[in-house]
């Protein structure tokens, strides 16, 4: 009999079908290792090729050289409006509505070196990446049209990467989609009933239970969520209540960098460099400081394929219990 678990924050369900389960090693791919150099002539993100990207938005220095660069995405899904006012073009066609694709779509180039990656970077380099996230998040939060900022990273072909040079992306969106609104709504209901943040309660319980915890440090904790959507997905939460990613302090960034690097290193070795996505799930910019949401970073290794059942029902089938995932990641020392 499989087990169907409810996510306490979204109230959505995940089916755990462990009879369909596979051992961690079964997820391993037999892919070719990429032996690339520090510099690749055709890579627009490599040091020395700065003129191949659109005009730089931000650069974090390390000594005389850049350590992290932020540039506009060359093929943006959303583009800034020159006059960045609050109004966005709205268009009616029969019963339908559309709006102009106003917003931002940026690339965070995480290193001058082509052959580095977050799992093997120096802590100070990862910290610079987080600092760039934070700066862009805070700056874009002030734009009139921006309602939600999504920071995400695609690693490997199954996760949708088109360029190997280490990078993440940021999108500033002019509305709050239903998917996010639903999570806000459920966490607000929980707050109304209990007077507490549902995510703070989850963390408190997870620390007590222990079996889904992977690791923690002064400011952050990482665990496999009770109703995790897919095998080996991991959530990283700030221990202090913070609704919006912009509430992370400059001093906190080091601790986020440290736990993120640790988790990615564990995943790299336990699952043999899995393709993955991670996203920073934050309250909308207009809800900074709210009492009921709690930003977090969630990593989704791409080990299974979303098929017709998931598309039709919105329910995920997960073949690995989070307790098992947490144990194998916790036990692997990096």
**Nearest-approach distance from CB 91 to its own copies, in angstroms:** 8
How many Cα neighbours within 13 Å face the side chain of 148? 18
Closer to its own copies at the Cβ: 4 or 123? 4
Closer to its own copies at the Cβ: 3 or 331? 3
Verify binding: residue 314, its own copies, rule CB under 8 A: yes
Options 139, 169, 217, 328; binder of its own copies; rule CB under 8 A: 169
Burial annotation 220-241 (CB, 10 A radius, 16+ → b, else e) = bbbbbbbbbbbbbbbbbbbbeb
Angle CA 318–320–321, to nearest 5: 100
- How far is Cα 329 from Cα 259, in angstroms, rounded to an integer? 13
**Nearest-approach distance from CB 35 to its own copies, in angstroms:** 25
Q: Which of residues 48-107 bind its own copies (CB under 8 A)?
A: 75-79, 91, 93-102
Closer to its own copies at the Cβ: 113 or 167? 167
**Nearest-approach distance from CB 204 to its own copies, in angstroms:** 9
Q: Which of residues 281-310 bind its own copies (CB under 8 A)?
A: 281, 300, 305-309
Q: Which of residues 181-220 bind its own copies (CB under 8 A)?
A: 182, 201-202, 205, 208-209
If we measure between CA atoms, which residue out of 271, 208, 249 comes closest to residue 31? 271
Options 58, 200, 207, 279; binder of its own copies; rule CB under 8 A: 279
**Nearest-approach distance from CB 39 to its own copies, in angstroms:** 26
- How far is Cα 244 from Cα 294, in angstroms, rounded to an integer? 7
Q: How far is CA 289 from CA 77, 248, 282, in A?
A: 29, 11, 11
- How far is Cα 308 from Cα 305, in angstroms, rounded to an integer? 10
């Amino acid at each position: 009999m499989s087990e169907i678990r409810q996510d306490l924050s979204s109230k959505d369900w995940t089916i755990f079908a462990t009879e369909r389960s596979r051992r961690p090693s079964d997820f391993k791919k037999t892919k070719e290792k990429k032996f690339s150099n520090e510099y690749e002539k055709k890579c627009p993100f490599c040091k020395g090729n700065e003129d191949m990207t659109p005009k730089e938005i931000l650069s974090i220095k390390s000594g005389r050289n850049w350590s992290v660069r932020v540039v506009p995405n060359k093929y943006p899904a959303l583009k800034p409006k020159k006059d960045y006012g609050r109004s966005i073009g709205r268009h009616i066609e029969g019963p339908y509505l559309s709006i102009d694709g106003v917003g931002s779509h940026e690339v965070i180039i995480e290193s001058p070196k082509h052959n580095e990656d977050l799992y093997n970077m120096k802590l100070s380099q990862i910290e610079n990446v987080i600092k760039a996230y934070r700066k862009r998040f805070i700056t874009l939060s002030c734009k009139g049209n921006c309602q939600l900022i999504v920071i995400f990273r695609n690693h490997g072909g199954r996760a949708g990467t088109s360029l190997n040079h280490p990078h993440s992306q940021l999108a500033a969106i002019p509305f709050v989609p239903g998917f996010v609104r639903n999570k806000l709504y459920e966490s607000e209901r929980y707050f109304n009933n209990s007077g507490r943040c549902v995510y703070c309660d989850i963390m408190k319980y997870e620390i007590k239970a222990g079996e889904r915890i992977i690791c923690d440090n002064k400011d952050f904790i990482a665990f496999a969520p009770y109703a995790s959507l897919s095998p080996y997905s991991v959530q990283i939460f700030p221990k202090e209540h913070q609704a919006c990613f912009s509430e992370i302090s400059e001093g906190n960034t080091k601790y986020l960098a440290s736990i993120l690097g640790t988790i990615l290193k564990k995943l790299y070795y336990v699952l043999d460099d899995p393709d993955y996505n991670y996203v920073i799930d934050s309250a909308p910019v207009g809800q900074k400081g709210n009492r009921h949401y709690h930003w977090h970073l969630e990593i989704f290794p791409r080990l299974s394929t979303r098929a017709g059942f998931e598309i039709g029902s919105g329910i995920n089938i997960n073949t690995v219990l989070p307790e098992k995932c947490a144990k194998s990641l916790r036990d692997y020392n990096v």
